[in-house]
Amino acid sequence: MAETTRMPAFPAGFRWGAATAAFQIEGSPHADGRGTSIWDVFAAEPGRILDGRDAATSADSYRRFRDDVALLAELGVDEYRFSISWPRIQAEGRGPANPAGLDHYARVVDALAEAGISPLVTLYHWDLPQALEDEGGWLARDTAARFAEYAALVVERLGDRVNRWITLNEPAMTSLQGYALGELAPGRTLMLGALPTVHHQLLGHGLAVQAIRAARPGAELGITNNHTLVEPASDAEGDLVAAGAFDAISNRIFAEPVLLGRYPDLAPLGLESFPGVEDGDLELVSAPLDFYGVNFYNPTRVAAAAPGSPFAEAGLPFEPVEIPGVPVTGFGWPVVPEALERLLVGLRDAYGDALPPVAITENGASYPDEVVGGRVADAERIAYLDGHLRAVHRAIEAGVDVRGYDVWSLIDNFEWADGYTQRFGLVHLDLDTGERTRKDSFDWYRRLIAEQRAG
């Protein structure tokens, strides 16, 4: 249960927000010249999506975005983090911008402005145009250049009204789950052969930063990385080595090039150098940022890979194991709020002055919510959010410069390969009618924001 004591006061100017992603909520996959994305293709393959459903309707937010803005205004948030669908802007991932696609997002931004809500726009939240995947996707260095051109088109149109931009969302998940393990689009199973996608995404980030800075020198730019606090299962040397390797491939290969201009040592994985890096790349990748986005859901306990396990068979030295004695979310993810505090303090300690101000760009939990008597009682989610916000506050007290918090997610949505089996929203979505029902967590978050503003 959530603590009964009042939430401590966050610093003046702390931004409260909620987050979504285009493919997960928009629907209308064929509207106004939108092209096909890798997720359209992946979701259409039998067996890829747990419940067999697709995102053709989802929350119908392409048409109902004003309903979403009204919910945000009711919450009283300062900002709304949402993403642009690349295939809506360039159907084939290259060439001139599609005016209808840009017009749609201009209307979204204008509606937010009317409601007094600041847009925080993510340029890439996993929906790569399928035409680019057909040419190699993020395995191809050219995709980085295509991404920068797309970013420039969006910023040219919206940059007069949008000042804060995120280049990439969770490149780790694209590389590790999309290209290495095949769990997410595009469904490739390349294992360590997926590593070039890490560098090409980060190079795309660097090129996009360069392009946006040239077009809008005053824009605030960041990247969002998914981070997990990695702990060894024991003090045994094998578990310590395994945890170090897992930390490197899950966290550090995505953070250190951006913050320090170098890749970590991957010798434990049998690699002497990082594939795909050319002269001058890391200078682009590590260009200074205005904020660093952190998505956090849970910690990970790691042991040495057991002989015969899928991890050992793949040549990996690590294997995630259960954290005993803690509650879990609907996804089965362990709920350990203090892990977020330790992660944030650890980032500060590891990167020092190289770490820009931090924004928590996603944090939330899925539970099997139901509407009963017109109400969704989601006490577990409230407890999760309460605990993690208190952890953020403790990190701030410890000296970490955290500037904002975006709850994931505003509304139940298409949860990637899990379809609609996992509900993260503050707002319940009826999949058949599209009806939106505010959960108890919605009211809790609304009251929290109001209390924080009141001081």
Q: Which residues are catalytic?
A: 170, 362
DSSP-derived secondary structure letter, 326: S
Note whether 260 and 292 are within 8 A (CB): no
Residue 148 tokens, joined? 């920068």
Q: Is 187 helix (H, G, I), strand (E, B) or coil?
A: coil
Nearest of 244, 202, 242 to residue 225 by alpha carbon: 202
Please tell me the chain's helix, strand, coil percentages from 3-state DSSP, rounded to the nearest 5.
45, 15, 40
Residue 99 tokens, joined? 């005016």
Apex CA 364: angle with CA 250 and CA 36, to 5°?
70
What is the C-alpha R_g of the chain? 21
Q: Is 375 helix (H, G, I), strand (E, B) or coil?
A: strand
Note whether 287 and 204 are within 8 A (CB): no
Task: State how far the Cα of 277 lies from the Cα of 385, in Å rounded to an integer.
Answer: 39
CA dihedral 15→117→21→378, nearest 10 degrees, is: 70
End-to-end Cα, the chain, rounded Å: 24
CA dihedral 209→287→254→14, nearest 10 degrees, is: -80
DSSP-derived secondary structure letter, 418: G
Query: Other C-beta atoms within 10 Å of 209: how many?
Result: 25
Task: State how far the Cα of 161 lies from the Cα of 163, in Å rounded to an integer.
Answer: 6
Burial class (CB in 10 A: 0-12, 13-18, 19+), 453: exposed
Residue 414 tokens, joined? 């298409």
DSSP-derived secondary structure letter, 55: S
Note whether 437 and 63 are within 8 A (CB): no
β-partners of residue 294 are: 225, 360
DSSP-derived secondary structure letter, 370: -
